[in-house]
Structure 1
Amino acid sequence: MSNSISCQIADGREAAAFFEAHPHIDAVDIIFTNMCGVPRGKRLRRHEVIGVYENGRYLPGSAAVVDITGRDTEETGLVWEDGDADRLLRPLPGSLVPAPWLGPDAAQFLTGFYELDGTAHDLDPRHVLGKVIERLMAIGLTPVVAVELEFYLVDQARDGNGQLQPARGLRNPHRSDDIQVYGLRELEDFKPFFDDLYTACDAQGIPLESAISEYAAGQFEITLRHRPDALRACDEAIMYKRLVKGVAVKHGLEATFMAKPFAESAGNGMHLHISMEDATGHNAFASDAAEGTDLLRHAIGGMQAALGDSFAIFAPNANSYRRFKANSYAPVASTWGVNNRTVSLRIPAGPPASRHVEHRVCGADANPYLAVAAVLAGMHHGIVNQIDPGAPVVGNGYEAESSGPKMPSNWFAAVDQFRQSALMQDYLGARFVEMYAIVKQTEQERFFALVPELDYSWYLRNA
């Protein structure tokens, strides 16, 4: 069995104790999250679960490389050529929890993906993240991570023109058509949804904190508390996204984390707040200086250097690239600054002991495991090579000249750069980089092979 930190496996005693405490549960979802970030798996009866904890559960290896729609990516050579052979899912400790939005008899647990000989599967995003964390731990640093996700609540039905529309409130059936950032009335209107969301998060041990109405009608953000365990922080982000969507459906709504649901409104970001603990458990970025320590500056320099190479992780889908627009609170250059939301890499205001960096590039559609892996890879690269990030941006970052590498301007360029990146191959694994690129290039071909309604509107009569 692999001894990677990501390879901790729960045993049957955990499941036995859970069922003793929850004797009514008889529908248990087993969840694996592949590179596209979509939870997949099986629904089991109660009597099947102990066997999974003792021996694992088989799942075809092709599940590691299905695209975002769940379709096989034959171009990887991991479907027919492999005989679509089974691998093993093994349960993650502490992840067997109730799923109250599915009913009183429902539960779920997360899994890792393994070869039949017990080796960690190199295309499992969680194992990819574990390898990067180990490189930081080897130089005496433990990443402390919080994942912040924005989402929209929308109607399940489209409007008369077939367009997506913000949801009506649950207490007051008003449909907002203005921004109302930080509006309390907007939180009040959806209080039944938020009440159930907090209750479900408490039931699953997800550390949910403050909620805000974000910079668009129907858009919200809720904070997940930081963790000195980056793997667990990402596990909770995966659980949280599923939970938000499920609770929304329970209330007749749809929750979406797609990067840009509305063309003229703010996009959904995934902001990653990261610091480093040293061997004594203290924040290695802590400093009376607002710009932090040299270690923090080097970490920022590394994130800048890796930004272009890892952009296909941060913006994984065609829709992702609609989010990057000046003066939209989404970054457009590899800039950094202090207490400045117009840059990509922000050191937030706060007391010296809280000094950390907020990575603001990712869309909420990114896979949390891979996004954190790519960010930590950049930080490690910057720290070990003592990369200087240059001077911080003061004022409007959208007008500032960036001294760092350019951000890819489109999906095709991003995937090409990622595939060719020696840096990403070093940290994430050469085979993972190749397979991820193939999956995304196949998605590109499938996406652009479709003829959307806009083509008819623009070209049917005019071309």
Structure 2
Amino acid sequence: MTSPSGSTPSEAEAFLAVHPEIEAFDIVLTDANGVGRGKIIRRHELAALYENGRHLPISILGLDIVGEDVHETGLIWDQGDGDLRAWPIPGTLVPLHGTNPPRGQVLMSMYLLDSTPMTSDPRHALRRQVDAFAARGLHPAGAFELEFFLLDRERDADGRVQPARAVLDGRASGKTEVYSVDHLHGMEPLFSDIYKAAAEQGIPAETVISEYAPGQYELTLNYRADIMRAADDLTMLKRLVRMQARRHGVTACFMAKPIERYAGSGMHLHVSMLDEAGRNVFAEETEGTWKPALLHALGGLSHTMAESMLVFAPHANSWRRFVAQSYAPVAPTWGVNNRSVALRVPAGSVKARRIEHRPSGVDANPYLVAATVLAGIAKGMDEKLDAGPETTGNGYEETAAAAGSMPADWLSAIKAAETSAFLATALGQDMHRTFTAVKRAEYLRVARTVSELDYHLYLHEV
């Protein structure tokens, strides 16, 4: 069969020849929540995977965060829980560093049995937007930033998570050691393995910093001319960070807000637009004299942000991150070289002019985030939307009157997303239905759960 993803058996053959030591492969399909689901296959099965794809149940794409069926997606019994065919994504067949016995990994994408895209697959949602820009003669480029916590395996005396001790010497620190280079030295063995793993997988992992909370770190990724590959980079980087952290005895945490008194973790997306000649259409002729394409892109993103927030903050915990003066945006504002806004135009070379989209938490699905951001940019450029005045100074003091206010909480975001014609267009009807149904089911799960906080507040008081 011919792979609709563009993968070829020769890729598998070449990989096996170079890596005779690898015994098995993780085949990974990314669901609406960004969770990797699939199988581990043996070495001798890899050739068949590239020749014929692999049957996987359609229900994989209709699961909630804990892996339970969400019947409202229409992907479970409405479809008889039948099999579709998953195919490898070209360029994602890679070794997994440090595994014993040695294993590899390949990302997968789902197709119908007639080889047309299965449109509840998040990666296809992004592909639709990329293809729509290609039809205009434009090509989105970008990179994600990855913020995360490294946590101790043991909870503290109150049952709360706590920052991991240094893997080098076991030293503990409860300080916000932001940008401390010496603090990074304590995690040097872990980050060394992360960089080795990233290099083996072709992931352009670059700078690491100690972020604005005890146990919080950030890894940056080099810019890609292909935003599809940028989203693949982030997906693969999260998997390898989690794996390498576990091997060093600590837990990599990608919750948006794991510790209530500290800053949460974002997943900022830097995005620009290249024409057919590779020129950046956001780059101004004279520095500071903004191009209409950039301003209209900012306008589209600000005007669609409220109804898109469920994509950027998809979980109950996501909404604990949005606190004033916490480096998480609370209104659809924009500014230049300003980290108090949602849409930042970073300082730097005119040639590298781009938008830093800051609302997303690290718990968001990078494919859906990128698809929604591109759709917002397209809407702004098509309709010549005005982003409003630039925010200077403290963006937390500004209101969102010009472009509509952000949802106040998770349920408000779910309701806004469910009724959003823009989001249905951005994600596609099937992905929109699947995603919002999953989020509604997860909300109901949380709403009916009796938590420790309930006992703390009410057990002896009412």
2:438 aligns with 439
1:208 aligns with 205
1:408 aligns with 407
- 1:29 aligned to 2:26? yes
User: For 2:252, what is the secondary structure of its paired residue?
Assistant: strand
Selected match of 1:349 from 338, 347, 350: 347
User: For 2:430, what is the secondary structure of its paired residue?
Assistant: helix
2:106 aligns with 109
- 1:173 aligned to 2:167? no
Give, in whole Å, the separation in 2 of the partners of 1:446 and 1:277: 43
1:458 aligns with 457
2:426 aligns with 427
Q: Which amino acid aligns with 2:45?
A: E
Give, in whole Å, the separation in 2 of the partners of 1:348 and 1:28: 40
Give, in whole Å, the separation in 1 of the partners of 2:310 and 2:154: 32
Quote the offset at 1:103 in angstroms.
2.9
Selected match of 2:144 from 139, 143, 147: 147
Q: Which amino acid aligns with 1:293?
A: K
2:361 aligns with 363
Give, in whole Å, the separation in 2 of the partners of 1:155 and 1:413: 34
Q: Which amino acid aligns with 1:57?
A: R
Give, in whole Å, the separation in 1 of the partners of 2:249 and 2:430: 42
For 1:370-414, what per-residue CA distance to the aligned partner results, in whole angstroms no more than 9, with x for missing partners?
001001110010011111111100100000232212111111111
- 1:227 aligned to 2:224? yes
User: For 2:162, what is the secondary structure of its paired residue?
Assistant: coil
- 1:339 aligned to 2:337? yes
Quote the offset at 1:459 in angstroms.
0.4
| Gap runs ≥5 in structure 1 | none
Verify the 8 A CA contact 2:5 2:87 in the aligned structure 1: no
Give, in whole Å, the separation in 1 of the partners of 2:329 and 2:2: 39
Return the TM-score normalized by structure 1.
Answer: 0.97
Q: Which amino acid aligns with 1:446?
A: R
Verify the 8 A CA contact 1:167 1:175 in the aligned structure 2: yes
Verify the 8 A CA contact 2:32 2:365 in the aligned structure 1: yes
User: For 2:397, what is the secondary structure of its paired residue?
Assistant: coil
Give, in whole Å, the separation in 2 of the partners of 1:138 and 1:405: 31
Verify the 8 A CA contact 1:92 1:112 in the aligned structure 2: yes
Quote the offset at 1:75 in angstroms.
2.4
Which moved further from structure 2: 188-197 or 177-186? 177-186
Verify the 8 A CA contact 1:2 1:119 in the aligned structure 2: no
User: For 1:23, what is the secondary structure of its paired residue?
Assistant: coil
For 1:265-306, what per-residue CA distance to the aligned partner results, in whole angstroms no more than 9, with x for missing partners?
010000000011012111111123336311000000000111
Q: Which amino acid aligns with 2:319?
A: Y
For 1:328-348, what per-residue CA distance to the aligned partner results, in whole angstroms no more than 9, with x for missing partners?
000000000000000000000
For 1:418-462, what per-residue CA distance to the aligned partner results, in whole angstroms no more than 9, with x for missing partners?
111111122221222122111110111112211111111110110
- 1:388 aligned to 2:386? yes
Give, in whole Å, the separation in 1 of the partners of 2:98 and 2:221: 19
Which moved further from structure 2: 427-436 or 125-134? 427-436
Give, in whole Å, the separation in 2 of the partners of 1:198 and 1:334: 35
Which moved further from structure 2: 38-47 or 92-101? 92-101
For 1:305-339, what per-residue CA distance to the aligned partner results, in whole angstroms no more than 9, with x for missing partners?
11011111000000000000000000000000000
Selected match of 2:214 from 202, 217, 233: 217
Give, in whole Å, the separation in 2 of the partners of 1:290 and 1:372: 26
Give, in whole Å, the separation in 1 of the partners of 2:233 and 2:430: 27
Verify the 8 A CA contact 1:90 1:113 in the aligned structure 2: yes
Verify the 8 A CA contact 1:329 1:342 in the aligned structure 2: yes
1:192 aligns with 189
Return the TM-score normalized by structure 2.
Answer: 0.97
CA RMSD of aligned residues (A): 1.4
**Structure 1 pair 291–190 and aligned structure 2 pair: CA distance change class (3 A):** farther
Verify the 8 A CA contact 2:23 2:101 in the aligned structure 1: no
Q: Which amino acid aligns with 1:262?
A: I
Q: Which amino acid aligns with 1:327?
A: Q
Number of aligned residue pairs: give it: 460
Give, in whole Å, the separation in 2 of the partners of 1:81 and 1:135: 31
**Structure 1 pair 291–159 and aligned structure 2 pair: CA distance change class (3 A):** farther
Give, in whole Å, the separation in 2 of the partners of 1:180 and 1:290: 34
Q: Which amino acid aligns with 1:405?
A: G
Which moved further from structure 2: 394-403 or 260-269? 394-403
